Amino acid sequence: MFHKTKSVLATLAATAALTTGAFAGSHAKLSGDLVIFSDMSNPAPRAVMEGMVERFGEMHPDLNIELTVIDREAYKTQIRNFLTANAPDVANWYAANRMRPYVDAGLFEDISDVWEDPELADLASTKGAMTLDGKQWGVPYTYYQWGVYYRKDIYEELGLNEPATFEEMKSNCQTILDSGRKCYTIGTKFLWTAGGWFDYLNMRTNGYDYHAKLTGGEIPWTDEGVAKTFANWRELIDMGAFIDNHTAYSWQESLPFIVSGEAAAILKGNFAVPPLREAGLDDSKLDFYQFPSINPDVELAEDAPTDTFHIPSGAKNKEAAKAFLKFVVSAENQTLINNGDNLGQLPVNAKSSVDDDKFLKEGFEMLSSNSPGGVAQFFDRDAPAEMAKVAMEGFQEFMVKPDNLDKIIDRLDRAAQRIYK
C-alpha cells in the first residue's frame, strides 16, 4: 500500500501546486483501485515514485492507489511471475529489446492508442525505443545522454575543435597522440563499455534502423555493413587511440587517465560527470560533444538508456493506468521528477525544462532537437542478454587483438543463429 511520507512532501509539495492543474489528459473521473509495482527502490527514485502517486491521487480522489516498491535486482527476477500470476495495473521496466520477452509473451498491453494523443507528440525522440512490431508498449519517464566528454583545456592547448566528422575526429586524435597522450580512456574489464563504442560506430556507419535490426537478429553478423563498422573501429585501434591495458580497468578505474591528462576524452554516459567533477575537472576543463558523423547519408542516432512504465495485459484498471502514464510523461511532471534534487536526469518531453547544468542542457538539446536518427538503449539492452554477452566479449577481444576479427565474426554469427532461433 502507498503511505504518505514527510520526506516526499518536503521534496515535492512545493511544486505540486504548480503542476496539478496542468494534466488535462488525466482529468477524466477515475475510480476503483490502481495497483502499481515499481523497481524505483533507491532513496531518490523512491521519493519520486511516491511523489507521483501522491500528486496523481490528489487529482483523482475517488481512485485508491496501491504502490508496491521492490528492490531493483529482486524486481528483475520477479517480474515475469507477477505479470503472469496477479498482474498490477502499471509496472516499471526498460525500453527496446528488454521489453520484447514480455511483449512476445503477451504480458504487456499494446498502448498505441495512448501514443496517438497529441500530448505525446513531444515524446517523438523516444517513440522508436517504445515500439516493437509497429506498436507501442509503454512510455518512458527518464533517460540520459551518451557522448564524448573531453578535456577542453587540452584541446585548446593543441588548437583542436570539436569534430563534426570522423575524419576530423581521427585528425584530432593524431594530434593528441603526437603530444604524448592517448585520445580515449576506457575500461573494458566488465565488457559493456566496449559495447558503447560499437553502438556509436555502427549507428554512425549504418544508421539506427540497421543497428536495431542487427541487435534484433534480423541482420547477420557476416553482413557487409558490420564489416564496415569494424573497419572504422580498427582505424582508431591501429592508431593507438585507446589507453593501454584497458581490459584491466573498470570504467571508474579508467577515469584517472582523463583526470591526469594522460588521455584527452572518454565516450560515456552522463553518469561519468559527477565523479569527474569530484576529481577536479570543473566546467572550464571538461566539455562534451556529440559523437561525429561517419556516413553523411546516415542521420545521427544516440544511445540514451530509457526507463519506462508499462500496462500489463492482465491489468484490471486499464483506464486509470493509461491516465497515469499520460500524467507521467506530461511536460510539467517530467520537469519536476528529473530535476537535480530528484532523478537528476533528462526529461523525455521536449517541452520540459532542465536544471541549470551544462551537460544536462547539452544532452537535452541533443536528444530533443539534434538527434532525428533514433534513440538506442545501449547494446546490452537492445540485444538479448545471451547475445549481448557473446558480442561484448568479442568487442573486447577485437580491441586487443583486431587480427582475430574473422574468428570473432564467425563466433558471433553462430551465436546469433542459435539465440535468435
Question: Has residue 99 been placed in a domain?
Answer: yes
| Helix orientation angle between 208-215 and 192-206, rounded to the nearest 10 degrees | 130
Least confident of 11-25, 70-84, 127-141, 180-194: 11-25
Q: What's the mean pLDDT in 297-312?
A: 94
Q: How many domains does the chain have?
A: 2
Quote the CA–CA distance of 136 and 108 in Å, as a whole number: 10
Is the same domain home to 38 and 106?
yes
Confidence of residue 371 (pLDDT cuts 50, 70, 90): low
Quote the CA–CA distance of 211 and 96 in Å, as a whole number: 12
Is the same domain home to 14 and 46?
yes
The CATH number assigned to the domain holding 35 equals 3.40.190.10
Is the same domain home to 89 and 188?
no
C-alpha distances in Å from residue 164, one per residue of 167, 169, 295, 378: 8, 7, 11, 22
pLDDT at position 329 over 60 = yes
Round the average pLDDT of the chain to a whole number and report it: 91
Is the same domain home to 159 and 289?
yes
Q: Of the candidates 257, 237, 245, which has an alpha carbon nearest to the alpha carbon of residue 151? A: 257
Question: Has residue 41 been placed in a domain?
Answer: yes
Q: What's the mean pLDDT in 319-340?
A: 95
Question: Has residue 210 been placed in a domain?
Answer: yes
The Cβ of residue 276 has, within 10 Å, a number of other Cβ atoms equal to 20
Can you tell me whether residue 57 is helix, strand or coil?
Answer: helix
301, 377 in Cβ contact below 8 A? no
38, 67 in Cβ contact below 8 A? yes
Q: Rounded to an integer, what is the distance from CA 360 to the centroid of its chain?
A: 14
Q: Please tell me the pTM assigned to this model.
A: 0.83
Question: Has residue 17 been placed in a domain?
Answer: yes
Q: Rounded to an integer, what is the distance from CA 249 to the centroid of its chain?
A: 23
pLDDT digits (tens, 9 = 90+) for 374-421: 889 999 989 988 999 999 999 999 999 999 999 999 999 999 999 998
Confidence of residue 17 (pLDDT cuts 50, 70, 90): very low
| C-alpha atoms less than 13 angstroms from C-alpha of 348 in its C-beta half-sphere | 30
pLDDT at position 150 over 50 = yes
Instruction: State residue 222 phi and psi, 5-degree precision.
Output: -85, 0
Question: Has residue 366 been placed in a domain?
Answer: no
Q: Of the candidates 292, 288, 170, 293, which has an alpha carbon nearest to the alpha carbon of residue 236? A: 170
Strands 63-69 and 32-38: parallel
* b/e code 336-369 from CB counts within 10 Å (16+ = b): bbbbeebbbbbbbbbebbbbebebbebbbebbbe
361 DSSP assignment: H
* pLDDT confidence of residue 139: 98
Is the same domain home to 159 and 269?
yes
pLDDT at position 307 over 90 = yes
109 Cβ contact list (under 8 Å, min separation 6): 137, 310, 311, 312, 313, 315, 318
Q: What's the mean pLDDT in 300-306?
A: 92
Is the same domain home to 201 and 280?
yes
pLDDT digits (tens, 9 = 90+) for 134-145: 999 999 999 999
* pLDDT confidence of residue 128: 85
264, 258 in Cβ contact below 8 A? yes
| Helix orientation angle between 43-59 and 318-329, rounded to the nearest 10 degrees | 120
* pLDDT confidence of residue 142: 93
The Cβ of residue 188 has, within 10 Å, a number of other Cβ atoms equal to 25
Is the same domain home to 166 and 134?
no
Place of cell 565523479: 275
Alpha helices in 179-271 (DSSP H): 192-206, 208-215, 224-239, 251-260
Is the same domain home to 263 and 229?
yes
* pLDDT confidence of residue 191: 94
Quote the CA–CA distance of 361 and 367 in Å, as a whole number: 10
Q: What's the mean pLDDT in 165-169?
A: 98
pLDDT digits (tens, 9 = 90+) for 212-267: 999 999 999 999 999 999 999 999 999 999 999 999 999 999 999 999 999 999 99
Question: Has residue 364 been placed in a domain?
Answer: no
Instruction: State residue 190 phi and psi, 5-degree precision.
Output: -105, 20
pLDDT at position 129 over 90 = no
* pLDDT confidence of residue 275: 92
Is the same domain home to 295 and 382?
yes
The Cβ of residue 392 has, within 10 Å, a number of other Cβ atoms equal to 22
Quote the CA–CA distance of 332 and 9 in Å, as a whole number: 17
- 306-310: strand order across its sheet: 63-69, 32-38, 90-94, 306-310, 139-143
Is the same domain home to 186 and 233?
yes
Strands 135-136 and 131-132: antiparallel
Question: Has residue 371 been placed in a domain?
Answer: no
Give the structural domain span for 385: 146-303+376-419
Quote the CA–CA distance of 124 and 40 in Å, as a whole number: 25
77 versus 148: which is more confidently predicted? 148
Quote the CA–CA distance of 342 and 11 in Å, as a whole number: 8
Is the same domain home to 175 and 286?
yes
Quote the percentage of the chain above a pLDDT of 90: 79
* pLDDT confidence of residue 27: 55
Is the same domain home to 167 and 40?
no
Q: What's the mean pLDDT in 110-130?
A: 91
Question: Has residue 70 been placed in a domain?
Answer: yes
Q: What's the mean pLDDT in 101-129?
A: 92
pLDDT at position 19 over 60 = no
